[in-house]
Amino acid sequence: MGSHYSLKYLAGEGTPEPAALQAEVEGLLAEVDKQMSTWRSDSDLSEFNRMPAHSCRAMPAAVLELVRAGDALSVESAGAFDLTLQPLLDLWGFGPQSRGEKVPSAEQIAEARARVGHRHLQIGEKRLCKDAAVQLDLNSIAAGYTVDRIARRLDELGVRSYLLDVTGELRAAGRKPDGSPWRIAIEAPRDDRQVAQKVLALDGLGVSTSGDYRNYFEKDGRRYSHTLDPQTGAPITHRLAAVTVVDPSTLRADGLSTLLMVLGPERGYAFAEQADVAAFFVTRTDQGFATRATPAFTRRFGEGDTP
């Protein structure tokens, strides 16, 4: 998947040998990569993206599952979440077909936006159709899906206690050998080094963080985030630096963190509060960074541990 993964687990009687378990995990990663990668031309998704308007293609059940999940998040957020942003990502220099970091014209943005929108997709039982030349990018939920998929396989193989990380999306279950919970750190949004801001104890939960402090470019003194607002076709301009979501579904946590990042500190917090989402917001201010947790986050973790 063009990134990293790690699995820490507690071996028990009947669990596979490490080499066998590693083969199981990497087999699932390879399967997802072949189905959903936008960076390899032979993936199912890339082949769909090359098809013209008014085309249909048989697609793996996993891809259709993610498109349905993305469609639900799009409806839930009134369009703030969108899986069809590939033309805009390429235009702004963040996609596999980009031609370098650049600020496109209003006309170029309008042309790309005409090929964006879930309304152009029709999901069948085994195939996906499009009435415009839309291109899908599943990266905002594919890693979360993969974490959940691996977690189900670990359970089938008798692995009950683990900490799993796929491209930064996390899930933990069970306890460590000393009986303590798995603990993960929420990273402070700094460009220069990694600093832990909060430490959370997890059991049976997925965690996703989205932020604008790693993937961006600067032009004429202005910073352009890789997070695009589907409503404008341009990078977000608000002061939300990062948002972390915790949910029993890592797929949903993954999608929600992107959705809240698009909405920003005020609208995003209001959405998360109303939807009872456990979320932790970090916002830039003139005095530094300010943090804010939703009631669902505070109920689950209290104030959390500060390192």
The pLDDT tens digits for 81-129 are: 999 999 898 888 887 766 667 788 999 999 999 999 999 999 988 999 9
Domain hosting 212: range is 170-301
Does some domain include residue 152? no
Does some domain include residue 232? yes
Tokens of 250: 């890592």
166/5 Cα distance (integer angstroms): 4
151/172 Cα distance (integer angstroms): 9
Q: Are 239 and 265 in contact (CB under 8 A)?
A: yes
Does some domain include residue 270? yes
Q: How many domains does the chain contain in total?
A: 1
Q: State the average pLDDT over residues 148-156.
A: 97
Does some domain include residue 208? yes
pLDDT tens, residue by residue, 54-88: 999 999 999 999 999 999 999 999 999 999 999 89
pLDDT tens, residue by residue, 163-210: 999 999 999 999 998 999 999 988 766 655 566 678 999 999 999 999
Q: State the average pLDDT over residues 150-158.
A: 97
Does some domain include residue 224? yes
CA distances to 16, 176, 178 from 12, rounded to whole Å, are 9, 12, 14
Does some domain include residue 261? yes
pLDDT tens, residue by residue, 229-262: 999 998 888 889 999 999 999 999 999 999 999 9
Does some domain include residue 222? yes
Residue with tokens 């970090």: 282
CA angle 296, 297, 303 (to 5 degrees): 130
The residue among 23, 228, 195 whose CA lies nearest residue 109 is: 228
CA distances to 45, 195, 280 from 59, rounded to whole Å, are 8, 41, 35
Q: For residue 256, what is the domain's CATH number?
A: 3.10.520.10
Amino acid at 52: P
Check residue 197 and give its pLDDT. 74
Does some domain include residue 92? no
For the cut 60, the answer to whether the pLDDT of residue 306 exceeds it is: no
Check residue 269 and give its pLDDT. 98
Check residue 288 and give its pLDDT. 82
pLDDT band at 211 (very low <50, low <70, confident <90, very high): confident
For the cut 80, the answer to whether the pLDDT of residue 213 exceeds it is: no
Q: Convert the chain into a string of H (helix), E (strand) and C (coil).
A: CCCCEEEEECCCCCCCCHHHHHHHHHHHHHHHHHHHCCCCCCCHHHHHHHCCCCEEEECCHHHHHHHHHHHHHHHHCCCCCCCCCHHHHHHHCCCCCCCCCCCCCHHHHHHHHCCCCHHHEEECCCEEEECCCCCCCCCCCHHHHHHHHHHHHHHHCCCCCEEEEECCEEEEECECCCCCEEEEEEECCCCCCCCEEEEEEECCEEEEEEECCCCEEEECCEEEECCEECCCCEECCCCEEEEEEEECCHHHHHHHHHHHHHHHHHHHHHHHHHCCCEEEEEEEECCEEEEEECHHHHHHHCCCECC
Tokens of 37: 């990668």
* Residues linked to residue 225 through DSSP beta bridges, in sequence order: 216
Check residue 307 and give its pLDDT. 46
pLDDT tens, residue by residue, 267-301: 999 999 999 999 999 998 888 888 999 999 999 99
